Amino acid sequence: RRDTVTGEVFRVCDCRQPKMFNSQPGECEMNKFDDMMYFLSFLRPHFSQVIAVDRDFALFHRAWCVAELYVAHALRMRQSMQVMSKSNFAEHHEELQQLRVEDMSSSNPADKEMILNKIQDKD
């Protein structure tokens, strides 16, 4: 499998544990991040999310990253965004205003579809 953004081949963990993907939803861990966030929010009401933004603001174009931000927002978690600098933020400010969740990318098209189905208000 390749990363659809970078084109790089994903390295698979070389441990001996079986790898579970979304084709095995019951065993897959990737599709349970929102359940974990609900659990953490319930267990620790003051749990907060730190958003470490990369230099190119690429995380805002990745479906899984945006989905996690959405769930945290929906749970009313405190969110703190860390960027490289004010000028780096200013450089991407207009791009951020034009983002649409439907345009996000995902290595697996099924992941993107699943994520979009969970987001009620896409505007």
DSSP, res 9? B
How would you class 72 by CB atoms within 10 Å of its CB: exposed for 0-12, middle for 13-18, buried for 19 or more? buried
Predicted confidence band of residue 80 (pLDDT cuts 50, 70, 90): very high
- For 16-62, write each residue's pLDDT tens digit: 877 766 667 677 666 677 888 889 889 998 999 999 999 999 999 99
What does the pLDDT average to over 6-22? 77
Token duo for residue 81: 């965004």
DSSP-derived secondary structure for 57-101: -GGGGBHHHHHHHHHHHHTT-EEEEE-S-HHHHHHHHHHHHT--G
Instruction: Specify the higher pLDDT residue, 114 or 83.
Output: 83
